[in-house]
Structure 1
Amino acid sequence: MFGGGAPVVVLNQNTKRESGRKVQLGNVTAAKTIADVIRTCLGPRSMLKMLMDPMGGIVMTNDGNAILREIMVEHPAAKSMIEIARTQDEEVGDGTTSVIILAGEIMSVAEQFLKQEMHPTVIISAYRQALEDLIEILREQVSVSVDTNDRQEMLKIVKSCVGTKFIRKWSDLACQIALDATQTVALEEGGRTEIDIKRYAKVEKIPGGTIEESEVLKGCMINKDVVHPKMKRKLTNPRILLLDCNLEYKKGESQTNLEITKEEDFMKILQLEEAYIQSICEDIISFKPDLVITEKGVSDLAQHFLVKAGITAIRRLRKSDNNRIARAVGATIVSRTDEIREEDIGTGCGLFEVKKIGEEYFTFITECKNPKACTILLRGASKDILSEVERNLQDAMNVARNVLVDPRLVPGGGAGEMALSCALNEKSKSITGVTQWPYRAVSRALEVIPRTLIQNCGANTIRTLTALRAKHATEGNTTWGIDGESGNLVDMKDYGVWEPFSVKAQTYKTAIETAILLLRIDDIVSGTKKQLDTQGAPQAPPAGGPEA
């Protein structure tokens, strides 16, 4: 019996164990390696990465999250780094590249302290204090509030996000699309703004045409055609009924048996089916809708009754598309035809039209009076280009959403980081004891963002960074940063590059907290099963040595 209830780790010949300083330094190296992979993806002069997936598909992008999603890594610390890019993307939708570079640098500056035998707990407490001070300084001294009703100001903010992406050539159009889409789906509820871009701002990609033809529709577009050729393909101010039920006779399951002895019985069954279809169609027709959209099927007989009543029908719609149409036209989705009420009918649509684009038919439900959902129609040369444009637009919409939810801005181009670096460096002088060194190291690590921007546009790193540090040492110069195109120093107030406060705050929190988490690890234990061959004996490793 073991006393004290302590956990017992059984180490057999198959269990690998690494511990202590070796693990911590290994984690630092892994974090640095992941950061180095996407270091060149920061800023307007960023490089693209070409990724090949196992199915042979190719993705070309400079979006940190998209790149890290495709990378396969073995090291557990490297997996944690990839996870933070995903967290950042889900939380605020932007800053995925910055958060990885910053987390890698914060891990990197801890390396010298670990080599000097400083205990990780001391480093962690300094990092925690630095994070608290950093967020406070960012809110009180560096950030400025913004008027979300000023359209020009909002477009400038979104433009600073799009400026580093593939679509910067069409940045004016992209910014307008992103801002219009975000403002369309904004919903005021109980004194707070709720903006659900993923669900209600759908991006539809149609290859062909030019990017200039892309637009935000005041309503929805779906890749469907009417179910019967005699149905109308254009309606103005239609009454729209949305259903979540079959307009066909529901056949019994496989265990249902019918025994027919006389010919009349068969006719009777057909009459029952026909009567059922007729009754559900009469339920619908009594409310005089012009357009019926259902998520399930519509039988030939139901089509016949609907055509006779002059009603257009569309079937087999996705649930998500149906929800969007409901928000856009002010309708309620009904699950049974005998439960339809007058208030369930949507009357907010101005125009229903079916158009043929290329080889396919598309249904447009547009000119809605107060749409709280929209479709972004993207046109472009090829699928690859459209996919990259869609990724860039998602980032731009997230920026607009973050500003609408928390209307505070931080100067971009590395200005915010440099201002925080100087403020933390100044504050570290008042800290006594050994913790001041890791605290000061955080301030040094923040300089990685302006430094990377300078490196990516090929300017002189040391000279430019020193000049920028000198600018920020002067009181009140918190808005000076790097012009990512040329590598020169510019005042972001005049240059017009701003970033949402929520993105920056989330970037610092995620980066520093991840570094804290990884520094607390002092043991990696992994149990690996040996492969057994058919005789049950362990197999020898392949001739080329163990796999990488």
Structure 2
Amino acid sequence: MAFSAQTPDILGERQSGQDVRTQNVVACQAVANIVKSSLGPVGLDKMLVDDIGDVTITNDGATILKMLEVEHPAAKVLVELAELQDKEVGDGTTSVVIVAAELLKRANDLVRNKIHPTSIISGFRLAMREACKYVDEKLAVKVDKLGKDSLVNCAKTSMSSKLIADDSDFFANLVVDAVQSVKMTNARGEVKYPIKGINILKAHGKSARDSYLLNGYALNTGRAAQGMPVRVSPAKIACLDFNLQKTKMQLGVQVVVTDPRELEKIRQREADMTKERIEKILKAGANVVLTTKGIDDMALKYFVEAGAIAVRRVRKEDMRHIAKATGATMVSTFADMEGDETYDSSFIGHADEVVEERISDDDVVLIKGTKTTSVVSLILRGANDYMLDEMDRALHDALSIVKRTLESNTVVAGGGAVEAALSVYLEYLATTLGSREQLAIAEFAESLLIIPKVLAVNAAKDATELVAKLRAYHHTAQTKADKKHLSSMGLDLSKGTIRNNLEAGVIEPAMSKVKILQFATEAAITILRIDDMIKLVKDESQGEE
């Protein structure tokens, strides 16, 4: 009896072996090529138009990749990788994607040359561990008492590739002041800088240099009624998460009324319920009421009479931050265990004052001098929405970087210095190993050079020559004991030369580099492991039923 070809009966296409690898690598290269030209101080911006025609102009790797709706499964790994880097470090999203794609490309070449993926993976893992160790021991510079200068330099390095690079001195100082003003010590005695407590408000008009730092949390909504006071001090803040409107009957509740006078009573009772709620809040001592839902006009008059500020339709996110900063508790219902409605004065948060100010054309409610943690707001001014959005993203990156620098206290030189040093070191390391991993580590070392190469290409400089010079410097630094200081040589992209980037003030937190190496290697390994892809076809027969 003849055996038919032994293929399992799979409803779908199956690709295996080299086909899948090549396809994955090509997909990842495609994603990396999109963000490649936006890397570095002279990187270019991308304009993304989404399906409803909204335009985003950005230079931020994570934003670009989030907006591309990537179909290919392997390329999706890279998009998630950029998001992870954005969450963990906040900056370096572009570099991570480029390094991961380059590692894959090199690994694919090795597999073609009959080296088993497992040996490549173990080689990459080894190289990554060694690289991280080398960064921590040899390249990282401890900045014990971080002076403001080094923080400002970190922020400037992070902003150098963004739209606000021209005003980076101004913005870097803003960012450093903002991060230092939210400093807090948690229960375990660790010093933390919760950058979530920095609220960024965008207001049209004036120029970017007119942005400023406000001490207090700015809410982008005005008071609910004109009769309310413009400032309240000291403020006792109630945070609510429900409607202060006339309480209507629940849907589906039927009331049969025999006497028309009863109807009037029902209406009156509905109005009174809201009134009682408001009186409970005011009795607890609140003179500022924030709610995420609405307050209707009838209810507003009680607040006006009591001389309290009420703000309606506050964003949930803002509400959470305010509750945390003032020590208030967000209340979503007044019902207590007994079934009555109560509002306890312990739910109220405290602040020195709450004022309403005008910023450009909008009324803004500012909460100043909050009790538990300090909050600040950055008011950004700019010509148009695209610019403001891009400034917002740039500042988010810079804030995260300053926070990481303050928490980890170690910095490394930027501008391709770390990558070049690691490449030279790993190449030397590879030659000392007599095992299979040698080739994989050598390729890992090669692929790290992609960062200085792309930086030079984006700056319209001769990449080959610059990278060769850079490597020569780092080789000298690692072989000759008296030339140790050369290990922070990096590219100067405005002049197209090589300089000592630590002295030039181009620095980044060491943790950012270590994370880039770890995440990129993990992602490359994840994709390299795949050797079989089965795409299931939708079953038509089920759809017809």
Superposition TM-score, scaled by structure 2 size = 0.89
Seen in structure 2, the aligned counterparts of structure 1 residues 38 and 322 have a Cα distance that, compared at 3 Å, is closer
Pick aligned residue for 1:119 from 100, 116, 119 = 116
Question: 2:445 matched to 1:443?
Answer: yes
Amino acid at match of 2:363: Y
1:141-540 equivalence runs, <5 A: 141-147=138-144, 149-189=146-186, 190-197=188-195, 199-335=196-332, 339-355=342-358, 357-358=360-361, 360-366=362-368, 368=370, 371-475=373-477, 476=484, 477-529=486-538
Distance in 2, matches of 1:207 and 1:158, equals 24
**1:92 match:** 89
**Stretch of structure 1 that moved more, 179-188 or 101-110:** 179-188
Q: Once the 2 structures are TM-superposed, how far is the Cα of residue 344 of structure 1 from its aligned partner?
A: 3.8
Question: 2:100 matched to 1:103?
Answer: yes
SS at match of 1:418: helix
SS at match of 2:432: coil
Q: Once the 2 structures are TM-superposed, how far is the Cα of residue 392 of structure 1 from its aligned partner?
A: 0.8
Does the CA contact (< 8 Å) of 2:184 and 2:373 recur in 1? no
Question: 2:46 matched to 1:49?
Answer: yes
Distance in 2, matches of 1:90 and 1:157, equals 18
Seen in structure 2, the aligned counterparts of structure 1 residues 431 and 352 have a Cα distance that, compared at 3 Å, is same
**Stretch of structure 1 that moved more, 174-183 or 452-461:** 174-183
**1:65 match:** 62
Amino acid at match of 2:447: A
Seen in structure 2, the aligned counterparts of structure 1 residues 268 and 82 have a Cα distance that, compared at 3 Å, is closer
Distance in 2, matches of 1:525 and 1:500, equals 42
Q: Once the 2 structures are TM-superposed, how far is the Cα of residue 312 of structure 1 from its aligned partner?
A: 2.4
Does the CA contact (< 8 Å) of 2:222 and 2:364 recur in 1? yes
| Amino-acid identity (%) | 32
Q: Any idea what the Cα deviations from partners look like across 1:362-406, whole Å, max 9, x if unmatched?
A: 222235576533332211111111111111111111101211222
Amino acid at match of 1:62: N
Q: Once the 2 structures are TM-superposed, how far is the Cα of residue 490 of structure 1 from its aligned partner?
A: 0.5
Q: Any idea what the Cα deviations from partners look like across 1:422-449, whole Å, max 9, x if unmatched?
A: 2212222220033211111111111111
SS at match of 1:350: strand
Q: Once the 2 structures are TM-superposed, how far is the Cα of residue 339 of structure 1 from its aligned partner?
A: 4.4
**Stretch of structure 1 that moved more, 478-487 or 267-276:** 267-276
Distance in 1, matches of 2:390 and 2:210, equals 17
Does the CA contact (< 8 Å) of 1:43 and 1:164 recur in 2? yes
**Stretch of structure 1 that moved more, 450-459 or 20-29:** 20-29
Q: Once the 2 structures are TM-superposed, how far is the Cα of residue 276 of structure 1 from its aligned partner?
A: 3.3
Structure 1 portions without partners, runs of 5+: 1-7, 537-548
Seen in structure 2, the aligned counterparts of structure 1 residues 149 and 113 have a Cα distance that, compared at 3 Å, is closer
SS at match of 2:15: strand
Distance in 2, matches of 1:267 and 1:440, equals 86
Distance in 1, matches of 2:271 and 2:20, equals 73
Q: Once the 2 structures are TM-superposed, how far is the Cα of residue 201 of structure 1 from its aligned partner?
A: 2.6
Seen in structure 2, the aligned counterparts of structure 1 residues 256 and 144 have a Cα distance that, compared at 3 Å, is same
Amino acid at match of 1:500: P
Does the CA contact (< 8 Å) of 1:64 and 1:97 recur in 2? yes
Distance in 2, matches of 1:17 and 1:324, equals 50
Q: Any idea what the Cα deviations from partners look like across 1:197-237, whole Å, max 9, x if unmatched?
A: 3x433322222222122223222222322233321123343
Distance in 2, matches of 1:528 and 1:275, equals 61
Q: Once the 2 structures are TM-superposed, how far is the Cα of residue 122 of structure 1 from its aligned partner?
A: 1.3
Q: Once the 2 structures are TM-superposed, how far is the Cα of residue 171 of structure 1 from its aligned partner?
A: 0.9
SS at match of 2:328: coil
**Stretch of structure 1 that moved more, 178-187 or 464-473:** 178-187
Does the CA contact (< 8 Å) of 2:204 and 2:360 recur in 1? no
Q: Once the 2 structures are TM-superposed, how far is the Cα of residue 336 of structure 1 from its aligned partner?
A: 5.4
Does the CA contact (< 8 Å) of 1:207 and 1:383 recur in 2? yes
Does the CA contact (< 8 Å) of 1:219 and 1:371 recur in 2? no
Q: Any idea what the Cα deviations from partners look like across 1:474-529, whole Å, max 9, x if unmatched?
A: 23121000012222101012111111122111110111112212221111111234
Does the CA contact (< 8 Å) of 2:352 and 2:368 recur in 1? yes
SS at match of 2:227: coil
Distance in 2, matches of 1:156 and 1:369, equals 32
Amino acid at match of 1:33: A
Seen in structure 2, the aligned counterparts of structure 1 residues 459 and 248 have a Cα distance that, compared at 3 Å, is closer
Distance in 2, matches of 1:169 and 1:346, equals 41
Distance in 1, matches of 2:235 and 2:18, equals 71
Distance in 1, matches of 2:464 and 2:153, equals 30
**Stretch of structure 1 that moved more, 303-312 or 37-46:** 303-312
SS at match of 1:55: coil
Distance in 2, matches of 1:391 and 1:298, equals 33
Distance in 1, matches of 2:33 and 2:305, equals 67
Seen in structure 2, the aligned counterparts of structure 1 residues 123 and 379 have a Cα distance that, compared at 3 Å, is same
Distance in 2, matches of 1:194 and 1:392, equals 22
SS at match of 1:203: strand
Amino acid at match of 1:425: E
Q: Once the 2 structures are TM-superposed, how far is the Cα of residue 240 of structure 1 from its aligned partner?
A: 2.8
Amino acid at match of 1:36: N
Distance in 1, matches of 2:367 and 2:462, equals 54
Seen in structure 2, the aligned counterparts of structure 1 residues 453 and 114 have a Cα distance that, compared at 3 Å, is same
Distance in 2, matches of 1:211 and 1:127, equals 45
Distance in 1, matches of 2:343 and 2:538, equals 60
Structure 2 portions without partners, runs of 5+: 1-5, 335-340, 478-483
Does the CA contact (< 8 Å) of 1:18 and 1:523 recur in 2? yes
Does the CA contact (< 8 Å) of 1:355 and 1:364 recur in 2? no
Superposition TM-score, scaled by structure 1 size = 0.88
Distance in 2, matches of 1:399 and 1:58, equals 27
Q: Output the aligned Cα RMSD.
A: 2.7
Seen in structure 2, the aligned counterparts of structure 1 residues 175 and 369 have a Cα distance that, compared at 3 Å, is farther
Does the CA contact (< 8 Å) of 1:231 and 1:312 recur in 2? yes
Distance in 1, matches of 2:309 and 2:42, equals 51
Amino acid at match of 1:76: P
Seen in structure 2, the aligned counterparts of structure 1 residues 306 and 492 have a Cα distance that, compared at 3 Å, is same
Seen in structure 2, the aligned counterparts of structure 1 residues 72 and 259 have a Cα distance that, compared at 3 Å, is closer
**1:539 match:** none
Seen in structure 2, the aligned counterparts of structure 1 residues 27 and 339 have a Cα distance that, compared at 3 Å, is same
**Stretch of structure 1 that moved more, 42-51 or 330-339:** 330-339
SS at match of 1:304: helix
**2:481 match:** none
